[in-house]
Amino acid sequence: MTLLTVDNLHTRFETNDGVVRAVDGASLTIDRGEIVGLVGESGSGKSVLARSIVGLHSPGRIVEGAIDFDGVDLTDVSASTRERYRGTDIAMVFQDPTATLNPVFDVGEQIAESLRVHDDSSGQSLLDFCHVPLVSDRSRWRRHRERAIELMDQVGIADPEDRVDAYPHELSGGMCQRAMLAIALAGDPDLLIADEPTTALDTTTQARILDQLRELAAETDTAVLVISHDFGVVADCCDRVAVMYGGEIVERGPTDRLLESPEHPYTRGLLSCLLRADDGRDRLPTIDGTVPERFDGGPGCPFASRCSYGTDDCERRDPAVRTVGPDHEVACHELEAVRADDSPAAAGSPSESTPPGRPRADPSESVTRDRARADGSRTIDARGRSGSAGGSADRGDPILEARGVTRTYDLADSAIQRAFGDSRTLRAVDGVNLAVYPGETVGLVGESASGKSTLAKLLTGLEAPSTGEVRFDGEPVGTVADRTADQLADVGVVFQNPQGSINPRQRVRETIAEPLLERGWDSECRRERVRELLDLVGLAERYGSRRPHQLSGGQLQRVAIARAIALEPRVVVFDEPVSALDVSVRAQLLNLLADLQRRLGLTYLVISHDLDVVRHVADRVAVMYLGEIVERGPAERVFDRPSHPYTAALLEAVPRIDDGTDATRLEGPIPSGVDVPSGCRFHPRCPIAEPVCETDEPDSVAVGGVDSHCHFAQQVASRGVTEDSESPRDQSPDPPDTTTR
């Protein structure tokens, strides 16, 4: 039964630069108990569509169209009626749970509020909600708080009795998202809208939240609209998918059909950008260009500016919606031409030839100025891909190395606390050895709190190890403060969040020239070098005079990369370089990284929780858990035949656009580094833990070129990735995640 019908919806914002047509004629239906996915890049209008349905103030003005919810047109009712639907009938979960929970109220209060609203949505009194003594109905609030505990239990928050009093900052991101889910469910909504519900979360947590959404739809007949830029996420849990671009739904249909035979060039493009287990290290297909800042709203297909099949007709006339299969609709003029490129994989390739945001790959163009420091390692060409998996004999000496590095943090806040005997310490990194050899790419994976970012900080000298040493080129090096100018210039760093690492007031040019200035380059050389760098990272020269807020996330990350390579480092450390970006932008950036590595002979250390990214870029990987490296080895081998249960579990959690079999999920969150579990530190969460694991710390075991810290490494490697010994995956090297479509 259809619950929600959005019909030809138009939502507009008035801005200083004129009208933005964020939603421009979108139509969509959702049935009860159904999960529908809404996919598109940022700027495609999907969040605004969601907010329009919920009726939040920010979506601007709905100027046309209807939102029919259970027989009532929500665009046609009074504001107060609208308010009554919110929370109780239509609930929403937002992208960043830590930002959506109010930091100053405990979780229980925030859930209880929702329950209270649901109980009595018209009788909300400010004094009651502010718990003013005497006026406020204490016993009722107490009852709601108790129900809040039940709800928390229901959404999978462990120890809800304790957590009910916790403030958002005391909980992990995943836990916060569960709390948000509890808030949304408190109203017992008919429709739940989840806007990028897992984008800010670890893969393992993401998998469990998606499971939760699926259960919800199945058990309570709630309709769920999942919004994501990632087709993988949506494919993993949705019955039907709508693809949005330029404020319009360009294609919609059953998930399977869309995955198997996508029709719209945009859908094909999005699918082809996804990282696949089997695409090795090839260049990734991308979608030409970027989402325009605004769509003019005139006639024509919104995708025309980026579409390789576009004709004049496309720019003049709105494409009609055509039904191409059961419940499968597409809005495109040139379906025949598109179909002629038979496979969707090929559909991405026309754009592959020259993604505009990429440096013209001309190896003869000498961008690398003659370096002051002649260095043999520079001559290493590409990456010796085939050899990379092999022995270390031909690798030479490591360029960057951590030797028995440990980093602990004192948890006591003040001298007084310490004086009173609070000596708890957090072991973020615990005795790690890691070597990076010239010319290779090492990937470092793990959940948040696994210590991978701390390790990066230690290697780059942003922090000092508590014990152990970091070596560069065989020489022990200290922190940034102690390193020589040359040593500093040799290591570049790119962080996850470019907004945070780039001064918002500086122009792009100044940002990139910063390290040059510090190194004492004169203004002429700086200008010249900045021009080169902009070109290298594929930004047009005019971007030099822009300020950060005028750039998109992908462009900002390019600026960060330009700054990192400004002094021609030999090693670049990337901390989550692409995890905040759209899939299409991610593909472009990964291509850029590969180009730069090839042209400049760079050595990379790439840190990410995204296994697909690491698999795509890395020659060798190290998997980190609770401050230790639990498995390391050649990337292919580790990802195809993991020999540590943790790696296996991480791999299982990656959403796949395939079979959708129920995978094993890692139970519980990563424990804190304060009370490290005895024996194997993974044992509380390990699906195959044996008594011995609790007592004995496993040594490193070599399994076919891979080092694994597990008592049963051999068995894990031969068994495949499931915990269930009854149904061993066949011994083929194929992981369960082949996506050869």
Partner 1 sequence: MYLLYRSLTATVVLLGASVLTFGLVYLTPGDSAETILIQQTGHQPSQEAVESFREEEGLNEPIPVQFVDWLGSALQGDLGQSYYSNRAVTELLVQHLPATIELAVASMAVALLVAIPTGVASAVHHGSSIDAGSQLVALVGVSMPNFWLGYLLIIVFALTLDLFPVAGTGGLSHLVLPAIALGTGMAAIVMRLVRTSMLEVIDREYVDGARAKGLRGRIVVYKHALRNALIPVVTVIGLQFAFVLNGAVVIEVVFQRPGLGTLLVDAIFARDYPVVQGVVLVIAVLFVVTNFLVDLTYHYLDPRISLGGGTR
Provide, rounded to whole angstroms, the least separation between the CB of residue 451 and partner 1: 17
Residues 243-272 binding partner 1 (CB under 8 A) are none
418, two tokens:
């310490």
Number of DSSP helices (H) and strands (E) in the chain, helices first: 29, 24
51, with CB counted inside 10 A (0-12, 13-18, 19+), is buried
User: Which one of residues 74, 166, 271, 332 is an interface residue with ligand SF4 (CB under 6 A)?
Assistant: 332
Instruction: Give the residues across from 400 on adjacent strands.
Output: 436, 472
User: Which one of residues 698, 701, 706, 717 is an interface residue with ligand SF4 (CB under 6 A)?
Assistant: 698
Distances (CA, A) of 611 to 91, 435, 455: 32, 20, 18
Helix-, strand-, coil-residue percentages of the chain, each rounded to 5: 35, 20, 40
Provide, rounded to whole angstroms, the least separation between the CB of residue 170 and partner 1: 8
Residues 108-127 binding partner 1 (CB under 8 A) are 113-114, 117-118, 121, 124, 126
Provide, rounded to whole angstroms, the least separation between the CB of residue 697 and ligand SF4: 8
Residue type, 553: G
Name which of 491, 471, 489, 486 is nearest 400 in CA terms. 471
Provide, rounded to whole angstroms, the least separation between the CB of residue 693 and partner 1: 32
Distance CA 128, CA 349 (A): 60
Q: Is 407 in the site for partner 1 (CB under 8 A)?
A: no
Residues 418-437 binding partner 1 (CB under 8 A) are 420
Q: Is 533 in the site for ligand SF4 (CB under 6 A)?
A: no
Q: Is 13 in the site for partner 1 (CB under 8 A)?
A: no
Name which of 490, 487, 461 is nearest 378 in CA terms. 490
Phi-psi region of 450 (alpha: psi -120 to 50; beta: other; left: phi over 0): alpha
201, with CB counted inside 10 A (0-12, 13-18, 19+), is buried
Provide, rounded to whole angstroms, the least separation between the CB of residue 428 and partner 1: 14
User: Which one of residues 238, 242, 301, 560 is an interface residue with ligand SF4 (CB under 6 A)?
Assistant: 301
Residues 131-170 binding partner 1 (CB under 8 A) are 167, 169
The site partner of 183 among partner 1, ligand SF4, none (C-beta below 5 to 8 Å per kind) is: partner 1
Q: Is 706 in the site for ligand SF4 (CB under 6 A)?
A: no
561, two tokens:
């990369």
Distance CA 739, CA 657 (A): 7
- Closer residue to ligand SF4 (CB): 151 or 666: 666
User: Which one of residues 38, 152, 180, 405 is an interface residue with partner 1 (CB under 8 A)?
Assistant: 180
Binding mask 638-677 for ligand SF4 (x = CB under 6 A): ------xx--------------------------------
Q: Which stretch binds ligand SF4 (CB under 6 A): 38-46, 180-188, 375-383, 704-712?
A: 704-712
Alpha helices in 88-198 (DSSP H): 97-100, 107-119, 126-129, 138-154, 160-163, 173-186
Residues 139-168 binding ligand SF4 (CB under 6 A) are none
664, with CB counted inside 10 A (0-12, 13-18, 19+), is middle
Binding mask 334-363 for ligand SF4 (x = CB under 6 A): x-----------------------------
Residues 53-112 binding partner 1 (CB under 8 A) are 54, 56-58, 83-88, 91-92, 94, 96, 99-106
Provide, rounded to whole angstroms, the least separation between the CB of residue 698 and ligand SF4: 4
The site partner of 92 among ligand SF4, partner 1, none (C-beta below 5 to 8 Å per kind) is: partner 1
3-state secondary structure of 85: helix
User: Which one of residues 680, 703, 706, 721 is an interface residue with ligand SF4 (CB under 6 A)?
Assistant: 680
DSSP assigned state of 543: G
User: Which one of residues 508, 693, 706, 717 is an interface residue with ligand SF4 (CB under 6 A)?
Assistant: 693
Name which of 481, 458, 453, 462 is nearest 471 in CA terms. 458
The site partner of 619 among partner 1, ligand SF4, none (C-beta below 5 to 8 Å per kind) is: none
Q: Is 417 in the site for partner 1 (CB under 8 A)?
A: yes
The site partner of 96 among ligand SF4, partner 1, none (C-beta below 5 to 8 Å per kind) is: partner 1
Residues 257-296 binding ligand SF4 (CB under 6 A) are 264-265
| Residues listed for the chain | 741
Q: Give the CA dihedral 80, 82, 86, 91, nearest 10 degrees.
A: -170
550, two tokens:
């005028």
Residue type, 401: E
Cβ-contact 606, 442 below 8 angstroms: yes
Distance CA 558, CA 589 (A): 8
User: Which one of residues 141, 295, 303, 437 is an interface residue with ligand SF4 (CB under 6 A)?
Assistant: 303
Cβ-contact 622, 444 below 8 angstroms: yes
- Closer residue to ligand SF4 (CB): 334 or 514: 334
Q: Is 711 in the site for ligand SF4 (CB under 6 A)?
A: yes
Q: Is 180 in the site for ligand SF4 (CB under 6 A)?
A: no
- Closer residue to partner 1 (CB): 94 or 472: 94
Q: Is 172 in the site for partner 1 (CB under 8 A)?
A: no
The site partner of 686 among partner 1, ligand SF4, none (C-beta below 5 to 8 Å per kind) is: ligand SF4
- Closer residue to partner 1 (CB): 68 or 188: 188
Phi-psi region of 212 (alpha: psi -120 to 50; beta: other; left: phi over 0): alpha
Q: Is 379 in the site for partner 1 (CB under 8 A)?
A: no
Contacts of 284 (CB under 8 A, 6+ apart): 273, 275, 587, 588, 590, 591, 616
Q: Is 719 in the site for ligand SF4 (CB under 6 A)?
A: no
Contacts of 372 (CB under 8 A, 6+ apart): none
The site partner of 683 among partner 1, ligand SF4, none (C-beta below 5 to 8 Å per kind) is: ligand SF4
Cβ-contact 116, 141 below 8 angstroms: yes
Q: Is 333 in the site for ligand SF4 (CB under 6 A)?
A: yes
- Residues lying near ligand SF4 in the complex (CB under 6 A) are found at 264-265, 301, 303-304, 307, 309-310, 314, 319, 332-334, 644-645, 680, 682-683, 686, 688-689, 693, 698, 710-712
- Residues lying near partner 1 in the complex (CB under 8 A) are found at 54, 56-58, 83-88, 91-92, 94, 96, 99-106, 113-114, 117-118, 121, 124, 126, 129-130, 167, 169, 180, 183, 187, 412-414, 416-417, 420
